[in-house]
Structure 1
Amino acid sequence: MRNIWKIFTSDVKNISKNWVAAVLIGGLIFLPSLYAWLNIIASWDPYSQTDQMPVAVVNEDVGATVRDNQIDAGKELVKTLKTNKDMGWEFTNRKKAMEKLEYGDYFSVIIIPKDFSEKLASVISDKPEKATMEYYVNEKINSIAPKITGKGASVIVEKMSGQFVSTVNGVIFDLFNDLGIEIENDLPDIKRFEQYIFDVEANLPEINQKLKESLTDATSAQNILRKAQNLMPEAQRLTNEGLGTINSTTEFLTKAENRLNEMAPKINEDLQKVQSISKESNEFLKEIQSVDLDFTELENVKKQMNERMNSAISTVETIEADLKHLRDINNAQPSTPAEEEENEVPSAPIGGAELDDAIEKTAALKVTLVEVQNNVENVNGLVEGKQQQLKQAIDDMQQIAAGTSIKLDTFIKDYKETIEPKVFSEVANAKKTLLDAKEVLVGIQSTIPEVERIINNTDGHVSDGTEVIEKILGEFPYVNDKVRQLADRIRKVQGEMDIGDIIELLQNDPEAERSFFEEPIVLKENKLFPIENYGTGMTPFYTVLAIWVGCLLLISLLAVDVKHEDNYFAREVYFGRLFTFITIGILQTLIVTSGDMVLLGVKVQEPFWFIVFGLFISLIFMSIVYTLVSVFGDVGKALAIIMLVLQIAGSGGTYPVALLPEFFQWINPVLPFTYAIDLMREAVGGIVWRRVGTDILYLACVGIAFQLFGAFLKETVNKQTNKLLKKSKESGLFH
Structure 2
Amino acid sequence: MKGHLDSISTHLIYAVTKSQTILSELQQAKGINQDYLNNAIQGNKLIASSSAALNSKLTSYQDDISNIANQLKLTSDSDIVSIITVLQNNPKTMGHTLVSLFNVKDESIYKVSTFGAAFLPTYITLSIWVGCTMLVMVLHTKIPRENRRFKNMTVHEEYFGKMLTFGTVSLIQTAVIIFSSVLLLHVQVESLFIMLLFGFLTSILFTTIVYTLASTFGNLGKAVVIFLVALQLAGSGALYPIQLNPAFFRAVYHLFPFAYSVGGFREAVGGPNMVTVFTDAFALLLMIGVTLLLGYFLKARLQRFTRRILSDFSNSGIGQ
Tell me the TM-score normalised to structure 1 length: 0.32
Structure showing greater radius of gyration is: 1
Write the letter of the residue equivalent to 1:494.
Answer: T
Q: Contact 1:630/1:710 (CA < 8 Å) preserved in 2?
A: no
Q: Contact 1:594/1:611 (CA < 8 Å) preserved in 2?
A: no
Q: Does 1:496 align with 2:61?
A: yes
TM-fit CA distance, 1:613: 1.5
Residue number in structure 1 paired with 2:120: 539
Q: How many residue pairs were aligned?
A: 249
TM-fit CA distance, 1:704: 1.3
1:203-222 pair list within 5 angstroms? none
1:227-626 pair list within 5 angstroms? 492-498=57-63, 499-503=65-69, 506=72, 516-517=97-98, 519-520=100-101, 523-564=104-145, 565-626=150-211
Secondary structure at the aligned position of 1:567 is classed as coil
Q: Contact 1:682/1:692 (CA < 8 Å) preserved in 2?
A: yes
Residue number in structure 2 paired with 1:707: 292
- Partners of 1:487 and 1:493 lie apart in 2 by 10
TM-fit CA distance, 1:486: 12
Q: 1:501 to 1:522 in 2, by over 3 A?
A: closer
Q: 1:525 to 1:508 in 2, by over 3 A?
A: farther
TM-fit CA distance, 1:712: 2.8
- Partners of 2:98 and 2:297 lie apart in 1 by 71
Residue number in structure 2 paired with 1:668: 253
Write the letter of the residue equivalent to 2:68.
Answer: I
CA RMSD of aligned residues (A): 2.7
TM-fit CA distance, 1:522: 5.8
- Partners of 2:253 and 2:204 lie apart in 1 by 21
Write the letter of the residue equivalent to 2:175.
Answer: L
Q: 1:500 to 1:690 in 2, by over 3 A?
A: same
- Partners of 1:620 and 1:634 lie apart in 2 by 20
- Partners of 2:73 and 2:237 lie apart in 1 by 54
Write the letter of the residue equivalent to 2:69.
Answer: I
- Partners of 1:644 and 1:724 lie apart in 2 by 24
Secondary structure at the aligned position of 2:108 is classed as coil
TM-fit CA distance, 1:507: 7.0
Residue number in structure 2 paired with 1:212: none
1:620-639 pair list within 5 angstroms? 620-639=205-224
Write the letter of the residue equivalent to 1:705.
Answer: V
TM-fit CA distance, 1:722: 0.2
Q: 1:505 to 1:654 in 2, by over 3 A?
A: farther
Write the letter of the residue equivalent to 2:141.
Answer: V
What fraction of aligned residue pairs are identical, expressed as a percent?
A: 33
TM-fit CA distance, 1:591: 0.8
Q: Contact 1:582/1:622 (CA < 8 Å) preserved in 2?
A: yes
State the Cα deviation string for residues 387-418 of structure 1 (Å, max 9, x = none).
xxxxxxxxxxxxxxxxxxxxxxxxxxxxxxxx
- Partners of 1:672 and 1:516 lie apart in 2 by 49
- Partners of 2:250 and 2:237 lie apart in 1 by 9
Write the letter of the residue equivalent to 1:503.
Answer: A
Q: Which runs of 5+ in 2 are unaligned?
A: 1-49, 80-92
TM-fit CA distance, 1:518: 7.4
TM-fit CA distance, 1:657: 1.0
State the Cα deviation string for residues 231-272 of structure 1 (Å, max 9, x = none).
xxxxxxxxxxxxxxxxxxxxxxxxxxxxxxxxxxxxxxxxxx
Write the letter of the residue equivalent to 1:529.
Answer: Y
Residue number in structure 2 paired with 1:655: 240
Q: 1:680 to 1:732 in 2, by over 3 A?
A: same
Q: Contact 1:589/1:618 (CA < 8 Å) preserved in 2?
A: yes
Secondary structure at the aligned position of 1:627 is classed as helix
TM-fit CA distance, 1:733: 2.0
Q: 1:660 to 1:573 in 2, by over 3 A?
A: same
Structure 2 residue corresponding to 1:722, chosen from 297, 307, 318: 307
Write the letter of the residue equivalent to 2:300.
Answer: E
Q: Which runs of 5+ in 1 are unaligned?
A: 1-484
State the Cα deviation string for residues 418-438 of structure 1 (Å, max 9, x = none).
xxxxxxxxxxxxxxxxxxxxx
State the Cα deviation string for residues 61-114 of structure 1 (Å, max 9, x = none).
xxxxxxxxxxxxxxxxxxxxxxxxxxxxxxxxxxxxxxxxxxxxxxxxxxxxxx
TM-fit CA distance, 1:731: 1.2
Secondary structure at the aligned position of 2:316 is classed as coil
Write the letter of the residue equivalent to 2:60.
Answer: G
Residue number in structure 2 paired with 1:14: none
Q: Does 1:643 align with 2:224?
A: no
Q: 1:508 to 1:634 in 2, by over 3 A?
A: farther
Q: 1:607 to 1:569 in 2, by over 3 A?
A: same
**694-703 or 516-525: bigger deviation:** 516-525
- Partners of 2:122 and 2:156 lie apart in 1 by 33
- Partners of 2:224 and 2:252 lie apart in 1 by 16
Q: Contact 1:561/1:577 (CA < 8 Å) preserved in 2?
A: yes
Q: 1:732 to 1:601 in 2, by over 3 A?
A: same
Write the letter of the residue equivalent to 1:676.
Answer: S
Q: Contact 1:582/1:619 (CA < 8 Å) preserved in 2?
A: yes
Residue number in structure 1 paired with 2:264: 679
Write the letter of the residue equivalent to 1:686.
Answer: G
- Partners of 1:494 and 1:593 lie apart in 2 by 71
TM-fit CA distance, 1:496: 3.0
Q: 1:636 to 1:506 in 2, by over 3 A?
A: farther
Q: Contact 1:593/1:611 (CA < 8 Å) preserved in 2?
A: yes
- Partners of 2:72 and 2:126 lie apart in 1 by 61
Tell me the TM-score normalised to structure 2 length: 0.71
State the Cα deviation string for residues 590-640 of structure 1 (Å, max 9, x = none).
111111111111110001221222122111111111111111212211221
Q: Does 1:734 align with 2:284?
A: no
- Partners of 1:566 and 1:507 lie apart in 2 by 104
TM-fit CA distance, 1:711: 2.1
TM-fit CA distance, 1:504: 5.2
Residue number in structure 2 paired with 1:426: none
1:2-151 pair list within 5 angstroms? none
- Partners of 2:309 and 2:151 lie apart in 1 by 20
TM-fit CA distance, 1:566: 3.4
- Partners of 1:517 and 1:506 lie apart in 2 by 19
